Every structure is written in C-alpha cells, then in structure tokens.
Structure 1
Amino acid sequence: MFSYLAAREATQGRHYTLDANYRSTPALVAAVNYVFERADRQPSGAFGHKTDEGNPLPFIRVNARGKARQLKQRNEAGEWQPCPALTGWALPRDTLLAAGHFVQQMADHTAEAITSSLNAAVAGDLAFFDAGGEMTALRPQDIAILVSTGDQAAVLQQSLNRRGIKSVYLSDRHRLFATEEAADFHRWLLAIAEPQRQDRLRAALGSSSFARHWGELDAVRNDVRLDEDTSRFMAYQRIARHQGILAAVYQLMHDYHIPARLLAAPLPDRSGERRLTNLLHLADWAQNEQAQLAGLDALLQRYAQAVSDNEAEHELRLEQDEHLVRIITIHSAKGLQYPVVYLPFLPLIRPKEANKNSTATPWRTSTGRGMSLGEFPEAIAAEHEAQMTESVRLIYVALTRAESACTLALGPVKFGAGKQPNQHE
C-alpha cells in the first residue's frame, strides 16, 4: 500500500480513475457508495490515510454500468417486489456475544436465510429478472458466503448440512495433505508396508475413512478376525510391489466396501463424495511418486514429508461442486463476482491483538517495515493503524463482490475479556 501511495504522489496530475462498476445492479452500487461516502467523512477517511494535508486514498463514487439481474420476491398479493440490495443483520443492543458464540449464531442465521430463500425459489416466489423481464429462479450456485478462515467455513458447512443444504469450500488454502483423509491414507500405507504389525493394522482398520460402526471396530480385537485382515493386507503389499500402490488401494477399497460406506455416511463438514475423491487423489499422487522411488519405505518417507510440509496439492474440484452453495475466503474472492453474497462474520475482521510480552514489535511506515526492540508504544500504535486500514480495504473487497444482493452481519461482538463491543473501533 505504501508503494502505491508513493507512486500516486510521484504521478500527481496524471491519474485516470476507473469509476464504472460493470458487475452490480444500480441499487447495490448506490448502497455501497452510501456506506463508504459516509466513512470518507470521518477524520481519517474511509481507508485511514486522510490527514490535514489531504487524502491520498479517497473513496471515489462509482457509477453503475452493469447489466446485473435484479432479485425479486413475490409478496402475499402475488406481486413481484425488488429484494433489498444491501441488508444488515444487527443483534439487539443488549445482546453482546463473544466471538465464538457470534460465529455459531451467525452461521445458523445464514443457513436459515439461505434455506428460506431456496425454498421460496423452488415455490416460484424468488427469482432474478433481467432487463428484458426474463425470469430465472435462484439456485444454490448463485449464492456465495465469504469468510476469513477455514474454521468459519467449517462451522457454516455444518449449519448448512443440518438443513440439507450442500456447499463447497473453495479456498485456495484447502490443501489435500491437511485433510483427515490424508491422515487415514498414511495409516493405510503403514499397514500395507508392514501388515504383520498389529498396531499399524488396527490403526488402518479403525481409521475414519473405513466408516465402520462400533461393533465392527470392536471386532478388530478378535485375533481370528485380525488374522483374516492380516492376510488381506499382505496381499495388498504384494500388489503394491508388483503393480503399484494405486492398484493395492483400489483392491483395499473394494474388499472393505469403502466407496459405499463413505457415500452412506457423510460428515458434518464433508460429503461422502468429497472424502472418496480425496482418497483417490491421494492414491493417484502416491502412484506417481512411487514410480520415482525405490520401494514402499521410500514412499512412506516421501508421504510423511508431504504431510509435514503441507504441500500445495489442492483438493480436486468435483463436478457436483458447480451446483452447490459456495464458501470462499474474502482474500480468494478478489476479482470474482457472485449473484448473491452473504458476509456473516464481517465484524470479526479486525487488527490482531498486540503481544504485550513480546520483546520485538514489527511495524509499517511510509518508508517501509521496521522492528522495534523493547517497549515502543508508537510502534504498536502504528502497526495497529496499518492493520486497521488493511481491514477496511478487505471489507470493501467483500462488499463489492455481489451482483444483485448482499447481506452482512453488523454485531455487536465482544473480544477477549473486554466488555466493549467491536463497534468502538
């Protein structure tokens, strides 16, 4: 940002402003203009860089040039009425939730709102209308929920799943080796490499991806039954050595009916299709790596390294993902657009708490980054201010992703042991 401000100052008088929005409806553009024009009248401006000498980063009013469809709902009289372009959810002033409780409540509220909207669309009472009057019903893939963290996405998916609404998390940080399936696949590899070791065999048979019920898990303690499993895994070892690990995993999944079990037992945050795809993706990755290595032991070391380093092997997109409600981080949504956007956790975007016990404090100024040693209140204040302005820019990105309608939560929220809500910031 400071590099941009320096370049802006150096090119004074030669600026060209792109003041047209080709994404959103006029009503939504006007609503966002209203929010940030009010913010720009604050002493520090909308983006925190306004001083007595001027404002190098002002908010510039945007003109609507888009052809976005308008979202309308049929009222009790049977007439189509435009839905609000920008909607804010505010908790009662006497309701002050801690951040964790706020996330759960807003996740449930968002899931309820989406369920209600999709039910109305199915009933023919909620739809988009283009300039020619053509009507298109709202679909799950028209809806995007923007979050800041994977934990928020997980809570949202659980709330949606409880209501029968399927969703997909599209964050570029959702890496394959960080999934539960990756840990289970590692247990499978260990058991295939040494099937005579009962501890490894039992760990594989009891892994989440086997999707076994309690009775089956308890049967693993039976030595006769375990002998049968040992024979199977010894066969997988032979297959892995002569045909490759992919063939061995395919045989394992067939023998233990894993595809059918996973499809029949989805988890709150992941569908059976997703879990199965992850396992097949891991098997394919292992097969490619095995071709370059000498033996199963080398493959195990390579796999352990991939898990430890959280290598950038992203989850494969499923075809069905294209028809689900999308959950995506605000950072990942930059440059993207969605017909309907929900921002349930917007009040949680805030500067990180300074570590009062730290002996060094990083901070940013117009001349670059620095590091203060010892107590330096000015450094803490400067870094807090820089993070605050960065948070506002992120909020602007979030508010400008929608085409037809945007809904956001307003709080209030309580952080830590304090009693002040986030609005005082």
Structure 2
Amino acid sequence: MRKPLDLINAPLSGSSLIEASAGTGKTYSLAALFLRFIVEEGLKVEDILVVTFTEAATEELRGRIRSRLREALNLFSGGDSSDEFLTKLVEKCGDNERGRRRLVRALASFDEAPIFTIHSFCGRVLAQSAFECGAPFELEVSGDSASALAEVAGDYWRSAVGALPALVKRRLQERRVGVPELARFAGKWRSRQNLTLIPDGFVKWSPELEEEVSALFKRFGVEWREGRDEAIGLIQESPAINKSSYSKRYLPLWNASVTSYAAGEDPLVAPDSLKRFSNSGLEEKRKGDGPLPTHPLFDLTEELVAALASLECSVNQAVSSFKIGAIKYLRDKLPEWKGEHKLRHFDDLLIELRDALYSDGGDALAGELRKRYRAALIDEFQDTDPVQYEIFSRLFGEGHPLFIIGDPKQAIYSFRGADVYTYMHAAKETARANTLDKNFRSSPKLVGAVNTIFSAHENPFLIEQIKFEPALSGLGDGPSFTVGGVEDAPLKICLITRGDVKLTSKDAARRAMEAVAVEIVNLLGGGDGERSFVDGRDLRAEDIAILSNTHDNARALQKLLLSRGVPAVIYDSESVYASPEARELYLLLRAAEDPSYMNGVRGALATSLIGLDARSLKEVEEGELWEEWLLRMLFYHRLWHERGFVQMARALIDGEGIRAWVLSREGGERTLTNILHLVELLAHAAADEKLSAAGVVKYLGAKLAQGDAAEEHEMRIESDENAVRILTVHKSKGLEYPVVFVPFSYEVMGGGREEEVFCHDSEDSLKGILNIDSQSPEYPLHLEAALAEQQAERVRALYVALTRGSRRTYFFTGPISGSEGSGAASLLTPGVDPSTLSDAEYFSLMNVLSKASEGAIEVREVGPPGGLPAKCMYKTEGAFASSLSARVPRASNRAQWSVESFSSLS
C-alpha cells in the first residue's frame, strides 16, 4: 500500500510517481510542487517543464500556477493566508525575503514558463534543436493527416491490388475494403512500434485449391441432380437421424436452396444448408448408436464443404495479409510523402523526437534538454503511450527531478492510443510512489458510497497492478444536497426490474431515460417535486449532468427533456465529420464545385439544407426553375474560383437562407452549429493545404469515409444556456457536477472490431500484438486477452462515471440481458450473468451494499414503463424558445436573385 504524499516534505530529487484518485487535488499538488522548485530550489520558471495532454488543460494549469505564485508572494510579503501548505512553505523556507525575491522573479517571467501539451513540447524541441535532431528547418505542421493517409493508402492500393487473385479482390469488395478503409486501418496502427503483426507477410496463394473447388462443384452439380431424391429418402428413413432437426418443415427448404446452388455457376455462394447433406452434418444430428445412412452424395458433399472451408480460410488470410501490408507500406512511405510535400503532422513530432533521442546524437540532445529543463512535471500520465514514455524516460530517467502524476483507474482513452500498461511499467521504474488520498470534490457520504462499491472486491479493476485504496473526504460534514429540506443517501442505485420476462438493453435504456426525465423535473421543482438545494442555493439545470454512451441515446435524452420543458444541451465527442450535416454539406459543395454534374445538383437540392422534397424537386426539373438552380450553382462555382472557399460558403449560406431555415426546425441550433464548424474546418484545410475547389470536396469526402476523431473535430456545444449537460463518460473526465446520472452502465460499449484483435504481450507489456488472422493458432488466446483488457477498461470508465458527481449520483443497473460484459456486471455481480438473476436476487445483492455503506447508498426500483405523466413538466422562462418557433416556409419565400459583381460581396 502506497503512502499518502507529504506535499511539503516530499523529496524534489529523482523520479516520483503520484497516483491521484478522482477529486484529490491533482492540479493543486502539481502547482504546489512547482512552488517548491521556485522557492526552495531557486529554479527559474523556464527551468521547470510542465507537460499535460490537452490545450484546455494547459491553459487551466498555467492559470492555476500563476495564481498560486501570487498567493505565495502575498504570504511571503507579510500577508495572510488560510492555506495550510503555503503557511508551512513559509515556515520551511525561513528566509522570507529570499523567497519573496524568487517569487517576484517567477511572476515577472511567467510568460516564459514551458507549460506545454506533449505535441507542443516536441514541436518546440524540434524547432529549437533542429540541427541536433536532424529535422528540417522549414516544415509546415498540420493537425490533420487525412489527406496524407488517403494519398499514400491510395498508392498502396494501386500498387498491390492488381497482383491479388480475383477471389481476394472479390472478398475485399464484399467487405467494402477500399482506400478509405485502408487509410483508417493502417493510419491507426502504423505509428505504434513494438507491435507484432499477425499475419506477418503475404500469404502465398495456391491456385490449386481454387481449381479443386471448381472441379468438385462441377461434379456436385451432376450428382446432386441425379442422386438427391435417393439421398434425402435415406435421411428420412434412417432411425439414427434426429427427425426434429431434419423435419418435414425444414428439409424441403434445404433441398430447394442446395438445388438452386448446384444449378448455379458460383461455388462460393454455398448456402449454410449444404453441410446438412454431408457426413459431418449428419453426424452432428445423430440420434442413438445406430449406423448413419451412407451415400456417394454425402461423401462428395463432405469433400466440397471441406474444400470450400480451406479456400475460405486461404482467402481470408490473403485479405488479412493485404491489410497488414498497408501498415508496413505507410510506415515506409508516409514519411517520404510528407517530406516531399514539406508537411509534418502532430504525431510525427513525437516520433521524430523519440527517434532523435535514440539516434547516435541522442546523448548530446538529451544532455542539452536536461540542462534546459532542470525539473519536469508530467500530468495525466495514465493517458501516455509507448512513444511518449520513451521520450520522457530517455530525458529524465537517470536521477533527474521528475514527477509523473496520474491515475490508472481513470485510464479510458485506449481508442486514442493511450496505454495504461505503459503507465504501469513507468510506475515500476520510478524511485518513489505516493498517493493523494483526500477527495475534495464529493461530499463525505458520496465518497463513502463509492468506496463501498469498489472495496467490495479484492481486484475490482481486474488488473493486479491497479489497486483501489479507499479515499478520505476532504470536505466538511454540513448538509450539501437537500430535497424538501431533507438530506438522504447521495448514491441512488436505480434497479431496473424485469418481472418474469427477459429485459433487453434497449428496453432498459428506454425505462432509464423516462426515470431520468421524471427525476430531473422533480429535482428542479416541477411535477411533484420539492425544491432542491445544493450547498444552500437553488439547484439549477446546469448543475445536472447525464452521462450517455451513444450519440443516439444522447439525442433521445435531449429530446425527452425538451419535451418536458427542461433545457438540455449535448457535449458531443463525436466527430463533426460523422454528423448528417457533413454528408449534406458534401453534396452541396460537390454541386457548387461541378454544376455540370446534373445528378450532383439534384442530390444537393434534395438535402435538408435546401429542403426540396421529391414532389418539389420533380416540379423544379420540369419547369423553368431548373435553369435558375443551375445558374445559382454556376454562380457559387465562379465565386469559389475567383474569391475562395470562405466567400463562397458565406454567399451560399446567406443566399439560400440556410441559417433561418435550419433554425426553424427542431434541433436547428445543433444543425447550424455543425454547419458553421464544418465550414471553419474546411476553410483552415483549404488554406493550410492549399486546396483547390475540387481538393476541398475530395478532402471532405475522405473525412466522411474515415470518420476522423481528432479533438478539434469534435462537435461543438450548440448553446451556453442554463441547461442540463448530456455528455459521454470520456468527455466528462476531469469535470464535476453537483448531480450526475449514469443511466447506461449495463450496456457493453467499446468492444471494437473482433477481426482487429489487439492485446498486450503477456511477457512484455510494452509490446503489443495485432492479430487480424482468425485462422492463426494464437488467435483464440489473443482474443481472450483482448476481451479481458476491454472489460477492465469498462470498469475504469464506470469509476470515472461514478466519481463525477459532487453531491448526488444516480446509478442505473439491473438483471439485463447482454450486460454480463459491462463494467457494472464486473462490479456488482462478478462471475454471474445478471440476466439470470431474479429481481429479488438482484435487490438482495444491492441491499448488501446499501447496508455496508451506512446510509450512503439507497436502492430504488425503476418499475415497468408507463410513459411520462402529464404533470411531469418543468417550465423555465425562455428555455430553448427556438424549439417552439414557427417553421419558416421553404423555397417559396426565398430571397430573389439578381446579377451582382464579385466586389459587392466583399
């Protein structure tokens, strides 16, 4: 068990790990360490490197450290402070004047403080030490690698696909594997080093197998036609065959499907029923010990089924090899392509610095950087990856003052490349390890409730190295959340009952959403609710957060709350390129880029942004308005080529009345926000990559295909009003709300694609294994390991969810089908499929937790669905009035067009 960190006396030399559980003052501690380096060690602000993982966190950290420097200066200058740490720091320093001078100097030069994101830090080093790093002096840095990936993936496709056998090409087509899919797949894995790829290399194709299948199929067609009736008769008459399997209902259907197959020309479209007429198929349905019927047709079918299985295996391995080849090709060719185009993307910054540090000149570079940065504080280290770890271990791994701060219990970003196994390896390498054990976010009882849930199991996080140590409360015991003047249990386990029927995840979600809506209306004082107070003031809608796991659930929740008069906004982590507006804007821009493509113009007019339905579109095409629309698109085309994308987009949005039109519809704010965000992103791309009009359309098309997930591409919030926040668990990390609802903890999310199995090497956790060959002998073992890692991450995600609330949390669960792989099942019913439990059994388990919590946990029932009662209504002045606006007529009141000069638009 690690000891709590003694913030004022902890050694500042060597390497230290600080594990900071949720709400334990991580940023406060980091700022305190920064102060100690300034006051005790006499370092200048430019000597202390501080690294975190997002721009927003960087700005917050910068502001917090500056504020703490000012507070310390006030105290060292004779002022007062109730801060215990600052008081102890003054006592420890002894010489107030020396401390004051150091703080004055630090504040005067604080703008020079090296507080960076990891990408900014690497970029700064590469720029300042370009010669030592062997890096080009002039390269354009872009956060968007979609175009580069698409270009190089396209080169690979053109160079490799021609040599593939026809059957493999066909399978690629069936699986819809094209250039965009290869770019997504290879782009995801190409930067990960220490990665074992399976299969490794191209599988040698055997044409003899294809010829064997073809010959067997021809024989089968003849023999089936001649012998099927006799063979089927033998099956019907045999006492050794289970007649319920080969029933009068199914046997004629199987006969018909196989007869159709045998009369065809394609051996690869074999129906599942073919195996029913093979020896092995008959063996599977044997009844008793009697002899099975024999027939030459059964023998031939057995041969054909086996040959087809072998051919299928060979084709799948060839497809897998082709995809693995894309990873290797991108590793080799993408840097060359970027060099030729003088481009560098954010991930390249890390790879280039890592490579430079481990090159022949790496010792000199590392020594120079250690002189420049005499101490380092690395925040959010649970979100690190192998490349980042290699950089920091090379720079600061030999006795240099280094603090790494993180919480492996909150490591939930594996889909972005974060690797909790790298964190655990780094933890073993540090000289000291401490914890932050006091929670300053949540009320004492809520802290106790979370402790109860996670302490009920010896290994709640399913990984031995990730321990749960109960947190202490750093807050007082006064009333913090009351309803009708009463403070009760802060954690509500809301049990969705099933009665005597199967409860699906979909039904559970619907009931949970209804229960959430009713409870929020009541908490805000609507319906039957009494007034709620948080820390002595009225509860507001913006104090409430709902953690959703899918975009569909988020939108359904928002719609439900708005229908009850509760303002609600979605903080969406989905890429704006995955939104419906992205597809519609693509169609519109394609028409403006090429107005001679008539089908393209028709597609643009049919979008909801223009709003012509099928009838209106037909009328336009048959009347004089068609020519007018073509002229409009030609106008935008010319404007785009003459004045650029931004001027054209502005004219298009204003000229077609898109702003007013979308705002008149339900969800209009969300739609308009997405449109304007997309236009901004495309404008940046057009400028950064010097894209022509056709290039912008191609760029947007590539984004649609790849489903880009870069942080800057996440959907923006559509309103800043006082409203309930709906967001994902991943988006909520680092945030806190007085009241939090967790309505979907039973749903199994984040399993990934089963054909892309990734796990860590059991012998070396810094190495990864990517196995996409389901026929390989190691595949079952790798799949099992991958599923176990995914399950562990779901538990960590649930920990994040249950620690977002500061005053009250609602946690929905129940005996729900398909939930055995969820984080809730791992914690609440370990080793038991929840759907096998009755309501009474589930209640009994939850009541054990409630009693153990000493009043901090209350178990509630979420009964059968009944719809929302009419009185469940909350009325707030001006809440989302736009959703109640009269709909604007479309097309009929469109602004009249006239001939204008381009200069009039500037």
Sort the TM-score into its range (normalised by shorter chain).
0.7 to 0.9
1:132 alignment counterpart: none
Cα separation, partners in 2 of 1:225 and 1:82, compared to 1, 3 Å? same
Partner of 1:192: 592
User: How far, CA to CA, are the matches of 2:740 and 2:561 in structure 1?
Assistant: 15
* Counterpart contact for 2:740–2:804, Cα < 8 Å: yes
Does the CA-based 8 Å contact 1:354-1:380 persist in structure 2? no
Per-residue deviation, 1:377? 6.1
Give the aligned partner of residue 204 of structure 1: 604
Stretch deviating more after TM superposition (25-34 or 113-122): 113-122
Q: How far off its partner does 1:93 sit?
A: 4.7
Partner letter of residue 511 of structure 2? Q
Q: Report the alpha carbon displacement of residue 65 of structure 1 after superposing the two structures with TM.
A: 0.8
Selected match of 2:487 from 82, 92, 111: 82
Q: From 501, 506, 509, give the equivalent of 1:103.
A: 509
1:359 is displaced (CA, Å) by 11
Matches for 1:11-410 after TM superposition, within 5 Å: 15-40=433-458, 45-49=459-463, 56-66=465-475, 70-74=480-484, 80-94=485-499, 95-120=501-526, 125-129=531-535, 135-172=536-573, 174-212=574-612, 216-266=616-666, 271-291=667-687, 293=690, 295-311=692-708, 312=710, 313-315=712-714, 317-318=716-717, 320-321=719-720, 323-349=722-748, 352=751, 362=759, 365=762, 367-368=764-765, 369-370=768-769, 373-374=776-777, 381-410=784-813
Contact 1:71 1:128 in 2 (8 A): yes
Shift of 1:29: 0.8
1:196, CA displacement in angstroms?
3.6
Deviation, 1:211, is 4.1
Distance of aligned partners of 1:243 and 1:10 in 2 relative to their CA distance in 1, 3 Å threshold: closer
Output the CA distance in 1 between the equivalents of 2:527 and 2:763.
Answer: 51
**SS of residue in 1 equivalent to 2:469:** coil
* Residue pair 2:571, 2:717 contacting (<8 A) in 1 also: no
Higher strand share: 1
TM-score, structure 2 length as denominator? 0.40
Equivalent in the alignment of 2:834: 421
Structure number with greater Rg is 2
Give 1:234 shift. 1.9
Moved more, 377-386 or 228-237: 377-386
Instruction: Give, in whole Å, the separation in 1 of the partners of 2:701 and 2:812.
Output: 41
Aligned-residue offset at 1:341: 0.7
**Equivalent residue of 1:110, what SS?**
helix
User: 1 or 2 for the larger relative contact order (CA 8 Å, sep ≥6)?
Assistant: 1
Cα deviation, residue 23, structure 1:
0.3
Range that drifts further, 383-392 or 415-424: 415-424
CA distance in 2, matches of 1:127, 1:360: 49
How far apart, CA to CA, are the structure 1 residues paired with 2:435 and 2:789? 24
Matches of 1:36 and 1:168, distance apart in 2: 31
Which AA in structure 2 matches 1:234?
Answer: L
1:294 Cα deviation from its structure 2 partner: 6.2
Kindly indicate whether the alpha-carbon contact (under 8 Å) linking 1:120 and 1:126 is maintained by their aligned counterparts in 2. no
Q: Which runs of 5+ in 1 are unaligned?
A: 51-55, 75-79, 130-134
Report the alpha carbon displacement of residue 297 of structure 1 after superposing the two structures with TM. Answer: 2.2
* Equivalent position SS for 2:462: coil
2:334 is matched with none
Native 8 Å contact 1:31 1:86 kept in 2: yes
Q: Which one is further off, 28-37 or 58-67? A: 58-67
Q: What secondary structure sits across from 1:398 in the alignment?
A: helix
| 8 Å Cα contact 1:107-1:156 kept in structure 2 | yes
- Sort the Cα spacing of 1:365 and 1:148 in 2 relative to 1 into closer, same or farther, 3 A: farther
Q: Does structure 2 conserve the Cα–Cα contact (< 8 Å) formed by 1:186 and 1:303?
A: yes
Native 8 Å contact 1:346 1:410 kept in 2: yes
TM value normalised by structure 1 = 0.80
CA distance in structure 2 between the partners assigned to 1:353 and 1:423 by the alignment: 26
Q: Matched residue of 1:347: which SS?
A: coil
Residue 385 to residue 187, structure 1, CA distance change in 2 (3 Å): closer
- Alignment-mate amino acid for residue 20 of structure 1: K
CA distance in 2, matches of 1:272, 1:197: 30
1:277-296 CA-to-partner distances (Å, cap 9, x unmatched) read 22223233334444554642
- 1:260 and 1:218, CA in 2 relative to 1: closer, same or farther beyond 3 A? farther
In 2 relative to 1, CA 245–35 (structure 1 residues): closer, same or farther, beyond 3 Å? Answer: same
Q: Distance in 1 between matches of 2:462 and 2:698?
A: 50
3-state SS of 2:533 partner: strand
| SS of 1:406 mapped into structure 2 | strand
Among all aligned residue pairs of Structure 1 and Structure 2, give the percentage whose two residues are the same amino acid: 28
| 2:455 aligned partner, one-letter code | E
Counterpart of 2:628 in 1: which secondary structure?
helix
Aligned length: 398
Are residues 198 and 337 of structure 1, via their aligned partners in 2, closer, same or farther at CA, if it must alter by over 3 Å?
A: same
Q: Aligned in 2, Cα 1:381/1:201: closer, same or farther, shift over 3 Å?
A: closer
**What per-residue deviation string (whole Å, max 9, x for no partner) do you get for residues 216-245 of structure 1?**
445334331212222222222222222223
Q: Are the counterparts in 2 of residues 359 and 374 from structure 1 also a CA contact under 8 Å?
A: no
Residue 211 of structure 1 contacts residue 258 of structure 1 at CA under 8 Å; is this kept in 2? no
Structure 2: 5+ residue stretches without partners? 1-419, 822-831, 843-906
Q: Is the 1:412–1:422 contact (alpha carbons within 8 Å) kept by the matching residues of 2?
A: yes
Tell me how far apart the structure 2 counterparts of residues 110 and 103 of structure 1 sit (CA, whole Å). Answer: 10
